[in-house]
Structure 1
């Protein structure tokens, strides 16, 4: 994957799951990865794993719900590497529940992380990408951004929003500044998202998901594929599910 080699890639939510798998794969392919998340010790562990495998990685503790934190993250990457080629907006939470449970604080948190976090990431890197007339922003949505189910109303709303934001970004920037925009919508995947669920009903429903979920490595491969395309080609959306997932 010669298109990936030497690219500077920021990945949020990089301490576990899809973010961690993506960081390790891209570093293996020669990218310089900047790992961002709140859990500093976990980030340090991932950086050590990458370096032990011969890759290049650095880390920055960040809260994606803070626009100032995201700006500092971008400044860190620019100072260390001189440019930002790719941003993977991967951080997200999924405390799904029925609306009548009235988990308003969880609704607010999903909006802050899943929507505002994506917007703050875009705001942090867009000026430098526009200046260079080059860059790639990859936003992680979900199959829940295509289909709404009972208990997923707010989570689905946030992921529909991610798709809308990404498509708007593509329309505004692809011709004007040659910035590529990609939506990745995973189905059931082995991640820590289920640990953010507090609804007893949903926890019971989710007990069987591990049996059908796919490895985050599959999602990482889809992200790498999008990055690996020649600069004149933009992969705009990938939906990737377990074979046995019907919806």
Structure 2
């Protein structure tokens, strides 16, 4: 996907889940487009390593260690980013967890963790960021547009047995993104849902014993996407000209049915 039509020089982008996987790859890709990156995740040491690599490549990155599921953390985080950078042009909600398995006898805590990170944290951070995205879009000296990208999933299009709550969270992300798109389109805040299929990340590592092995075997049967493939799609979305909005983008491995 070509990104030659636009660039992100002078913008500030906040990426959650930036310590690994899709979030990390997206941070690196958007930094290469000229954005100043606000890197958010729990693992500070890993964030510092990603930031150092970005800076070594001529980019700009700041580290904001945070557990975005914490009470009041979304507002505090956005305030810290604004204090350091002065603006917010792009928010990529890439943090997520995939705790799957049969519903019968599933630990209730797994269901709650899916909801806490995939839905509640995303909603809270989006709520805190929206006024600043609207302000960036109307800034005469900026791009005249702002971007909110939410990472959903194929499971947000097709409910999957054995992943009932995970699917529910991703359906919620997709629905929220579409409704919010309708509200913000006239303000030139583009809201996009990117829906990856199977991606080689740490997601499967957190699945409980007895379920993880089956899931990982299914992943191994595919030529899975790399995090960089999804980052490329996200970069395409946020670097379109002001009048172009890519609202929904489904990205699967070629051999995933």
> TM-score range, shorter-chain basis?
over 0.9
Q: Distance in 1 between matches of 2:121 and 2:37?
A: 19
Q: Is the 8 A contact 2:90 2:133 kept in 1?
A: no
Alpha-carbon shift at residue 208 of structure 1 (Å): 4.1
What aligned pairs does 1:55-134 form with structure 2 within 5 A after superposition? 55-132=59-136, 133=138, 134=145
Q: Distance in 2 between matches of 1:182 and 1:54?
A: 28
Alpha-carbon shift at residue 49 of structure 1 (Å): 1.0
Once superposed, what is the RMSD of the aligned Cα atoms? 1.4
Superposed CA offset, 1:87-119 (max 9, x none): 000100001010002321000010000000110
Aligned to 1:9: 13
Q: Is the 8 A contact 1:23 1:35 kept in 2?
A: yes
Provide runs of 4+ in structure 1 moved above 3 Å.
Answer: 131-134
Aligned to 1:194: 204
Change (3 A) 1:60 1:233: same
What aligned pairs does 1:1-247 form with structure 2 within 5 A after superposition? 1=4, 2-132=6-136, 133=138, 134-175=145-186, 177-210=187-220, 211-246=222-257
Q: Which runs of 5+ in 2 are unaligned?
A: 139-144
Q: Is the 8 A contact 1:145 1:163 kept in 2?
A: yes
Superposed CA offset, 1:20-52 (max 9, x none): 001111111211111000111110111111111
DSSP-derived class of the 2:104 partner: helix
Q: Distance in 2 between matches of 1:163 and 1:148?
A: 13
Superposed CA offset, 1:192-217 (max 9, x none): 11111004134223224145211110
Q: Distance in 1 between matches of 2:38 and 2:135?
A: 21
Q: Distance in 1 between matches of 2:114 and 2:255?
A: 27
Give TM-score scaled by structure 2 length: 0.91
Q: Which runs of 5+ in 1 are unaligned?
A: none
Q: Is the 8 A contact 1:67 1:120 kept in 2?
A: no
Q: As a proportion of its length, which structure holds more helix? A: 1
DSSP-derived class of the 1:100 partner: coil
DSSP-derived class of the 1:66 partner: coil
The count of corresponding residues between Structure 1 and Structure 2 is 245
Superposed CA offset, 1:98-142 (max 9, x none): 000232100001000000011011111112223444421100000
Q: Is the 8 A contact 2:205 2:212 kept in 1?
A: no
DSSP-derived class of the 1:183 partner: strand
Q: Is the 8 A contact 1:11 1:34 kept in 2?
A: yes
Q: Distance in 2 between matches of 1:98 and 1:199?
A: 12
Q: Is the 8 A contact 1:96 1:151 kept in 2?
A: yes
Give TM-score scaled by structure 1 length: 0.95
